[in-house]
Chain A
Amino acid sequence: MDFQSIKDLLQHCQDKNVNIGELMLETEAAKTGRDREDIFEMMKERLLKMKEAIDAGISDPSPTPSGISGGDAYKMQKYKEKGSYLTGSLMIDAMKYAFATSETNARMGVIVATPTAGSAGVLPGCIFTLKENTDIPFDRLVMGLFTASAIGYVIANRSFISGAAGGCQAEIGSATAMASAAIVEMRGGTPEQAAHAGAMALKSLLGLVCDPVAGLVEVPCIKRNVIGTSIAFTSADMALAGLESRISFDEVIGAMYDIGKSMPRTLKETALGGLAATPTGEEIKERIMGKPCLKRA
Chain B
Amino acid sequence: MVFNSCFDIIGPIMVGPSSSHTAGVVSIGKFGHDLFGTAPSVANISFYDSFSETYQGHGTDKAIVGGLLGFNPDHAGIKHAFELAKQQKMHFTFQLNEECPYYDHPNTLIVQMKRGETEMKFGGVSLGGGVSKIFLINDNPVDILLNSHIDYDRIRKKYLPA
Binding site for B on A (CB under 8 A): 2, 4, 24-25, 27-28, 31-32, 39, 42-43, 45-46, 49, 66, 104-118, 120, 123, 145-146, 148-150, 152-153, 156-157, 160-165, 170, 178, 212, 214-218, 265, 268-272, 288-289, 294-297
**B105-A113 in contact (CB<8A):** no
CB distance from A104 to the nearest CB of B (A): 7
Task: Say yes or no: is B49 at the interface (Cβ < 8 Å to chain A).
Answer: yes
Residues of B within 8 A of A25 (CB): 6
CB distance from A176 to the nearest CB of B (A): 14
**B11-A46 in contact (CB<8A):** yes
Task: Say yes or no: is B74 at the interface (Cβ < 8 Å to chain A).
Answer: yes
Binding site for A on B (CB under 8 A): 1-23, 46, 49-50, 52-59, 74, 76, 78-79, 94-97, 105-107, 126-130
**B13-A46 in contact (CB<8A):** yes
Residue on B with the closest CB to A156? Answer: B3
CB distance from B162 to the nearest CB of A (A): 33
**A157-B14 in contact (CB<8A):** no
Give me 5 other A-B pairs in contact (C-beta within 8 A), A115-B19, A162-B20, A270-B54 excluded: A111-B16, A113-B23, A265-B49, A269-B54, A272-B53
With the chains together, A153 CA to B6 CA distance in Å?
A: 7
With the chains together, A43 CA to B10 CA distance in Å?
A: 8
CB distance from B6 to the nearest CB of A (A): 4
Residues of A within 8 A of B10 (CB): 43, 46, 112-115, 123, 145, 148-149, 152
**A270-B49 in contact (CB<8A):** yes
Residue on B with the closest CB to A66? Answer: B57
With the chains together, A271 CA to B49 CA distance in Å?
A: 11
CB distance from B59 to the nearest CB of A (A): 7
A to B CB contacts below 8 Å, 9 in the list: A43-B6, A43-B10, A49-B13, A111-B16, A113-B19, A268-B50, A269-B50, A269-B106, A289-B57
Residues of B within 8 A of A170 (CB): 128
Residues of B within 8 A of A27 (CB): 6
Residues of B within 8 A of A289 (CB): 56-57
CB distance from A115 to the nearest CB of B (A): 5
Residue on B with the closest CB to A24? Answer: B6
**B129-A109 in contact (CB<8A):** no
A117-B8 in contact given A108-B17, A265-B106 (Cβ < 8 Å): no
